[in-house]
Amino acid sequence: MTGENHGKLSAELEELRERCAQLEAKARLHEQTAVQLREDQELNSLGILVSGLAHDFNNLLVGMLGNAELALAGLAEGTPEHFAVREVREAASRAAELVHQMLAYAGRASRVVKPVRLNALIEEMKPLVAAMISKKALVRYRLADDFPLLEGEVSQLRRVVMNLIINAAEALGEKEGFVRVETGVTELSRGKLLQTLLAEDLAAGPYAYLQVSDDGAGMDEETRNRIFDPFFTTKPAGRGLGLAAVQGVVRNHHAAIGLETAPGKGTSFTVYFPVVEVEEERQETGAVAFAEWRGSGTVLVVDDEPTVRSVISATVKKVGFKTLEAVDGEEGLETFRRHAEEICAVCLDLTMPRLDGQEVFREIHRLRPQTPVLLLSGYTEEEAAQRFGVSGLAGFVHKPFHPQELIEKLRRVLEPS
């Protein structure tokens, strides 16, 4: 082979290597894209499933909470009966919060930035945490008494807490061990901040922290460097999104995250939130007890769940209203057409057979636009608006609700200040 031919062959081989490398890179990109699409589909399917279950479960909780509240109004305080019914109400309230946490974890809860008591949020999440991790993982909580208010999105902060605890529990493998959850306040220098992630623009000063640590096997340098990569996981059945999601939430809250780990020495994640002046939200005033406000007229109740209809009717009757009930949207419209002049307000479910709440509302609004309509749904207000496009409503009541909440919404609709 001549030198010229050899050089030509070498050039062709080099070009072939480059093309192979490009093809491999494209193949990896396509594979990553396919994985991401599958993950997005799985998460979307999970969200739809959780939303559907939450909707049905919230209808059941309306009956529990509503009937317990109505029963308490007729029982003398201090009696065994009052105590027992109050315990039922509190248990139903905790169940309602658990459903909300499930929605938040699936990314289906409403997102509102507001002052958050992180310690209280962690306390509320304890039952859900216990249900989602192995019984071999013993969670120990050490929450600071003087932990400041944070400004953030409750659903995102819940996701951080849950993902860090689940990750810590899974790091224990099949052995028993401890997961430690700690909150507190510390002073961070600029040098200390530079040892964390996402702290490039953060200033030295006081920081409120959330730390989750475990007694697991720890991580080597290679794993540590990739731990926040999307779709990277050390677990055979893992999806690799948890810590990437944590990093995204930390970035959204202008916070930083520290990682301490070594093989055989466990792992500790610490999220640092800058301490800023945050005023606690003022509770809305004007709420009135059953006996402090009286209404008049007829309220049309349209819901396919008998228990929900019963609770709504009993609640509004207690403050002076009459009621008409309809078991679905079609019957609701027929009833409204017959009694439009005497109906002062409508309590309307969103998802029903034959005609849904959207169709019923539009027809009521066409027939008599001045009639206020309250939409009651187990979906969040944002999700209801996105999925059903209902606008122009007088108000929204999220299921499950306390009877007093419904009365207050009715009062505001019928007697606007």
Structure tokens given for 137: 């993982």
Task: Note the pLDDT of residue 113.
Answer: 74
Pairwise CA distance, residues 12 & 22, whole Å? 15
Burial of 113-134, coded b for 16+ CB within 10 Å and e otherwise, reads: eeebebbebbebbeebbeeebb
The C-alpha angle with vertex 249 and arms to 243 and 250, in degrees rounded to 5, equals 90
Amino acid at 194: L
Task: Note the pLDDT of residue 342.
Answer: 94
For 128-165, write each residue's pLDDT tens digit: 888 888 898 999 999 999 899 998 888 788 889 988 99
Task: Note the pLDDT of residue 237.
Answer: 45
Task: Note the pLDDT of residue 400.
Answer: 86
Task: Note the pLDDT of residue 251.
Answer: 84
Pairwise CA distance, residues 390 & 223, whole Å? 48
Task: Note the pLDDT of residue 41.
Answer: 55
Pairwise CA distance, residues 351 & 304, whole Å? 8
C-alpha distances (whole Å) from 411 to each of 71, 318, 342 are 22, 13, 17
DSSP 8-state assignment for residue 395: E
Low-confidence ranges of the chain (pLDDT < 50): 236-241, 283-288
Structure tokens given for 234: 């050390």
Structure tokens given for 120: 């209280």
Pairwise CA distance, residues 235 & 371, whole Å? 57
Nearest to 239 by CA among 26, 104, 46: 46
C-alpha distances (whole Å) from 82 to each of 54, 77, 78, 203, 288 are 29, 6, 6, 53, 21
Q: State the distance between the two ends of the chain, measured CA to CA, in whole angstroms.
A: 98
Q: Domains of the chain (ranges plus CATH)?
A: 112-274 (3.30.565.10), 290-414 (3.40.50.2300)
Structure tokens given for 71: 């029963």
345 φ, ψ (degrees, to nearest 5): -165, 160
Residue 84, sorted as left (phi over 0), alpha (psi -120 to 50) or beta, turns out to be alpha
Pairwise CA distance, residues 163 & 157, whole Å? 10
Task: Note the pLDDT of residue 239.
Answer: 44
Task: Note the pLDDT of residue 35.
Answer: 52
What pTM value is reported for the model? 0.56
12 φ, ψ (degrees, to nearest 5): -65, -40
Task: Note the pLDDT of residue 298.
Answer: 95
Bridge-partner residues for 322, per DSSP? 298
Greatest CA separation for the chain: 108
